[in-house]
Structure 1
Amino acid sequence: MAVADNGRGTDTRFDEHGRPVKKPVMATKDLRFFDDPAAQTLPDGHPRRGMSVVAALSDWLVHTNRRVNGSWTQRYERGVPVTGLEPVPDDGTTGTTVHFRPIADLAPLTVDVGRFADAWPGLTIATAFTS
């Protein structure tokens, strides 16, 4: 599956040596929103949970981030990063794309694309699996 948007991209900061450092939201429970009854809801009315849930429930996940100040990609397997932040050539766009393959023994996934289209008009969803 793949989910993509044309937003500003995931926030990326740089350490004192100029290396990109991404928030650990992909590999850790997002404690800002998890089980917080006062957490801000998304446009579809559901609470934010963080990408860590998708990463943990996937055989693999590739997160590609495009921002004005640089683009990168990173691969996760079962929620654990297996690569560092790898630079991606600038193509003049911004946004985030997440390709992933859910763990095979999970219940079948159904996606109501129409529900998301109204809430996020810039979002695209693809359901083809690739490794």
Structure 2
Amino acid sequence: MRYILSGLAAAVTLAACMNAEMPDASEGRAAYDANCAMCHGASGTGDGPLAGDLSVKPVNLTTLTRDNGGAFPVNRVLSYIDGYKRKAAEDVEMPEFGLLLEGPSVPIETGEGVFTPTPRPLAALLAYMESIQK
């Protein structure tokens, strides 16, 4: 019974967020400027004012799609920003922003028609990052 109720709660949550208006890149720009530009730079190329103080150069965020075979890596970006997935010791220089990017959820397609409820500020940041791809 517990599994049925948790599944029903998840379905209700997802249905509610499916009706939410999706954020656009301009909304995400504010989240980027507040949380990312100091290291990744205003243009996203990894040349922010703090970049020189870091032991590992910040990633060029404008080439994520190109470096992923032409598809924007939604899951990888979301996981990295919220701190869920870090792959090496040098990754600890990038703070986890998951707690800073909370809010009402919107549905983000995470592949193969699967939609994941995602905090709106994080979805907005994702939209902005996708918009700066070269």
Q: What TM-score does the superposition give when structure 1 sets the normalisation length?
A: 0.27
Which structure shows the bigger proportion of residues in strand conformation? 1
Q: Which of 1 and 2 has greater Rg?
A: 2
Which structure shows the bigger proportion of residues in helix conformation? 2
Q: What TM-score does the superposition give when structure 2 sets the normalisation length?
A: 0.27
